[in-house]
Copies of this chain bind each other. A is one copy, B any other.
């Protein structure tokens, strides 16, 4: 089994992106999965083009994208991506779409087909703060998650795909007051657990992991 794992380059004034740092550190063989890593730009559309190139080159079974969620306390697999681009800040090439579709002919939203609840459960079992998220925002992270699931839906129905948000790493918050973080080692460990679960699990577990609001 081949798993393509993508990480964004830094954005929003940060000099590193914890997602990319963790992706670089991943073992290239996890369980029975071969891990292929890919750096993608924090840029609308171009990020998706790079992913589709890699899909064509490697024909992976799974695409998992990793992104930074500054302010979150743990690792948060995403349940759903929505068909909207609404950028509060410019991306790394100056684009700032407001309330446009990711793909005009796409569904309003796509649900991931990764076993996100099992991923969360295994991370918590391993002593890592993790929970299921119901929003990937409206910036390039949601854009990439939506775009990958759109491609799966339209062209690559045998593939699975999804997105995992990770917190700042410790050194990023040294000068930020009251901002949560995790060590790069723990983030990497969490992602390797997720990849192992993905490689072994087809159907998600059925446990309540909802959010009141």
Contacts and interface: CB of A to CB of B under 8 A. Distances in A.
A107 to B, nearest CB: 5
A45 interface: no
Interface in A123-137: 123-124, 126-131, 134-137
Interface string A179-213: 11111011000000000000000001011111111
Contacts of A82: 79-80, 109, 111, 134
Task: Classify the interface of chain A: helix, strand, loop or mixed.
Answer: loop
Chain A interface bracket (under 10, 10 to 19, 20 to 34, 35 or more): 35 or more
Contacts of A131: 177
Contacts of A207: 98
Interface string A82-102: 111111110000001011000
A92 to B, nearest CB: 13
A165 interface: yes
A155 interface: no
Nearest to A204: B99
A108 interface: yes
Contacts of A175: 124
24 contacts: A67-B213, A68-B213, A70-B212, A73-B178, A73-B181, A80-B82, A84-B111, A88-B210, A98-B206, A98-B208, A98-B210, A107-B109, A108-B108, A108-B109, A124-B174, A127-B170, A129-B173, A129-B181, A135-B211, A136-B213, A137-B210, A139-B210, A139-B211, A141-B212
Closest 9 CB pairs of A and B: A86-B210, A127-B171, A109-B109, A137-B213, A138-B210, A135-B135, A183-B183, A108-B109, A69-B213
